[in-house]
Amino acid sequence: MQRVSPGIARTIVSSLTKTSRGHTFTTFAANPSFQKQLQQTIPCDFLKWASLGFYRTSRFATGFTPLQQKPLDSIMDTDRAKDKSPEDLVLIWDDYHLGRGHIGASMKAQLYRLLEQRANDCRYFVIPLWKGSGYTTMFAQVQLPHILFTGLEDYKVRGTQAAPYFTVTFYTEFAESKDLVLIRGDVVFTSKLTDSEATWLMETAQSFYLNDVRYKLVEQFNKDTRNFEFKDVLRALNMPIL
């Protein structure tokens, strides 16, 4: 199948409004009842993470303010898109995001439902991102319809004031009619992540939630943190244990 030309894509996809790079990401203010509720859902034992230079406090990962989802109809002409096949719609979506500072992707609705189910049970994970001769450890918070990524070092320094480096949004408007969920990624800090690194992070995070074998590590991180070994994640990704 030939790719849809940018000109044709732009007749269906409307011009973008303000991107997420213009948003200010804030965290929840000190609300004792809310923070207590969140702390009960977050893994509590990170003693084995000392080797990463990571110090766990009671305020760790208390949650970003939920992002205001950019409506799909502000990005594309959803009425015209209804007449397109899933295959054409995916090509249009992907082509539109090429070279625009955003990442376009898609997935089957059934996979999204599995991701949603598992994210409700296990919201957090850590992923090593290879940079040069070593890796930096990224923290993922799966809060559908969003996934938020930031660095563990930023949590160490800033706690709940650490802002996301990269956000991913899932659009389910065509899940029932076309068995299709559209995905959009926005790199918030281009000084922290390249587009290719962000794409890899997005795909890798999904693989840990959607692959049965890899998901066991996600479960262990959230439910049995004392026995979680980061080197098992490195092995799963065929990365050297430094």
Contact 19, 190 (CB under 8 A): no
d(CA 81, CA 202): 25
Q: What pLDDT does residue 67 have?
A: 59
Name the residue ranges covered by the structural domains of the chain: 6-236
* Per-residue pLDDT tens digits for 93-124: 998 887 766 899 999 999 999 999 999 999 99
Q: What pLDDT does residue 132 have?
A: 83
Query: Dihedral of CA 113/118/121/122: which sign?
Result: negative
Q: What pLDDT does residue 112 have?
A: 98
Q: What pLDDT does residue 232 have?
A: 96
> Both ends of the chain: CA-CA distance in Å?
43
Q: What pLDDT does residue 6 have?
A: 40
Q: What pLDDT does residue 153 have?
A: 83
List average pLDDT for each run of 10 residues in the chain, which is 242 residues long. 42 37 31 36 37 32 55 90 94 84 92 97 94 90 92 78 89 96 92 92 98 97 93 94 81
